Structure 1
């Protein structure tokens, strides 16, 4: 059995076991709680598991790990941490969809739309929209709580110093994601773009703290810490992980404007309708003539845009040369990440797997 398939199965099994255990604990609440728990299970069924895989590779870069062994002991510690990251990621996506008013996620209704539909179908009193938002926020909170429990279990089962270090990385990651998400929302509310270089710096700051660090660098450091990584090994993984995370989010920004909705599970126009001030958008508008830039800025973030207007914005972004510049940025970040591993004091096999996963995650179409 291929390692990736084996690992994916173990991660899903650990997630399913975690959800089943919590379902049992909440059984005294009765049948009315079932839709909340069912949505948690549906939301966590499948996915790319990139953060979990980077966490496992962070561990393997420092200490050998047999993923074909019994999922207990050392492997069980890593699985708990990997699954904690997946639960945290799911919670972040649920809350992100509430913030962005997104209707879909992974080809299905977003959590708040799902709960609103339950309200409509049942004919309950009050506002379906409000119930949907409340349900999604609470589901995200619940998954964050369960993620914290899993991470604490992993840290408690590791060596004392290793557990403390992993916990510190996890805590820092949570704070940075929330702060980065706030900066993202803050940027959307600004009446005007900042001057070119300043706006690019602001957009990059959001990219790094909302997504890049927690997508790759933090999982690597959490896994490595659990394995007992020293300062030099953690430094090497940071030097690798941050540029890969930046490249990952830059690819996500391209997919947010040009992706195939059948593959991404979300409309390609979402970032334009939501007014995201991404690096791609920032680079696009800086090369436009004043009149065209003013029109572009007026359209960005308008939820009533027609299909023809969205196509015009997409064409403007392509014609500006921004797509090519972002592709170049992705390539440079991956080159930088790979070069950082040349003399890193990490396992040779793990280095090869890290490079392969980095390339796959930044060349994806969904």
Structure 2
């Protein structure tokens, strides 16, 4: 059992201890190895620990339903929650690299930070190429660390096989979703216009909804010994919440305040992300305006005036209102999945609180 009464604090302390061990092990390999490990550790900083929270609450929902009184959270659940945070950091490092994003949470993205360290050290070769190559390896190291943390926790866990299956499914889904995301940006012109929204939702499901909410919930539930009905209830809740979470992220990627999100306003427009928001705008626009939208979305040199013009186009097309309606619909679907579910009442209340935090956020 964790000695920390706050499970999120226990997750943070587990990460601190784990990173200290990894940094100490790297010291025997020299300063370059230490700097590499430090880059990986830095990538896990910040964030809201959303996936950890859903994992912990998934465990509580099943444990409380089985008559377990609220109290200390088992070590295997803390370890699993911590591993999810490390896995998310890996996904973000690779995502920023794929999208060529300069910033993450108000700081340089991993590949940009590594590029700067190469330049500051006056090493030989192309600093940008070094940064990109090193960031791939940082992401890979984080994936390995997430496995290490998970397996440490599962070593004595009663329900380890079920938790391991859920975790493996999450890893496969997010990898396929990431590929479909970049494929959609490359091949969207070949798809019929009326299919773009459905294709964007497919990407959102695999790349974000399942690994952000649904699978963390199910990993925690598995560790508590969830039965088929409990698993179905949590999956029926988690998937629509995850979709709503991603749709909110899409809105913030176009309209978010840079001072709050830590990324430039309109960054998704410059990166060419083919989201549901963009698909809805394309559906509503006449052919000429649609061609202009297609020409501008994905231009990395968009200035603030052009971003503002695209924002107006999206609002006036009704796309933003449609996405907001869809977010509301998904939230209602998620709430319905919890009605009558054989889950702990206190945990169900917490799940509803987490839903509001996930879909109403400003960053």
TM-score normalised over the length of structure 2? 0.95
Conserved? CA contact 2:79–2:152, under 8 Å: yes
* SS of corresponding position for 1:63: helix
Q: Could you tell me which of 163, 181, 187 is aligned with 1:190?
A: 187
Conserved? CA contact 1:12–1:45, under 8 Å: no
1:307 is displaced (CA, Å) by: 1.8
1:191 is displaced (CA, Å) by: 5.9
1:256 aligns with 2:231: no
* SS of corresponding position for 1:192: helix
* SS of corresponding position for 1:346: coil
Q: Counterpart of 1:105? A: 104
Q: Counterpart of 1:203? A: 200
1:49 aligns with 2:46: no
1:68 is displaced (CA, Å) by: 5.8
Cα-to-partner distance string for 1:141-179 (whole Å, 9 max, x where unaligned) = 1110010111122222211xx210110010011011000
Conserved? CA contact 1:240–1:340, under 8 Å: yes
1:267 is displaced (CA, Å) by: 1.1
Conserved? CA contact 2:269–2:297, under 8 Å: yes
1:323 aligns with 2:312: no
1:275 aligns with 2:256: no
Conserved? CA contact 1:84–1:148, under 8 Å: yes
1:171 aligns with 2:168: yes
Q: Counterpart of 2:17? A: 17
Cα-to-partner distance string for 1:279-338 (whole Å, 9 max, x where unaligned) = 000001110111111111111111122221111111100111111111111111111111
Q: Counterpart of 2:222? A: 225
1:40 aligns with 2:40: yes
Cα-to-partner distance string for 1:99-141 (whole Å, 9 max, x where unaligned) = 0000000000000000000111111110001110111111111
Q: Number of residues paired by the alignment?
A: 357
* SS of corresponding position for 2:155: helix
Runs of 4+ in 1 over 3 A off after TM superposition: 64-69
Deviates more, 1:80-89 or 1:190-199: 190-199
Q: Counterpart of 1:332? A: 329
Distance 1:18 1:225 in 2: 23
Q: How does 1:295-334 map to 2 (within 5 A)?
A: 295-334=292-331
Q: Counterpart of 1:118? A: 117
1:196 is displaced (CA, Å) by: 3.2
Deviates more, 1:262-271 or 1:194-203: 194-203
Q: Counterpart of 2:154? A: 155
1:27 is displaced (CA, Å) by: 2.1
Conserved? CA contact 2:194–2:283, under 8 Å: no
Q: How does 1:124-163 map to 2 (within 5 A)?
A: 124-159=123-158, 162-163=159-160
1:67 is displaced (CA, Å) by: 7.4
Change (3 A) 1:9 1:218: same
Q: Could you tell me which of 333, 352, 356 is aligned with 2:353?
A: 356
What is the CA RMSD across the aligned residues, in angstroms?
A: 1.5
TM-score normalised over the length of structure 1? 0.94
Unaligned stretches of 5+ residues in structure 2 = none
Distance 1:83 1:319 in 2: 43
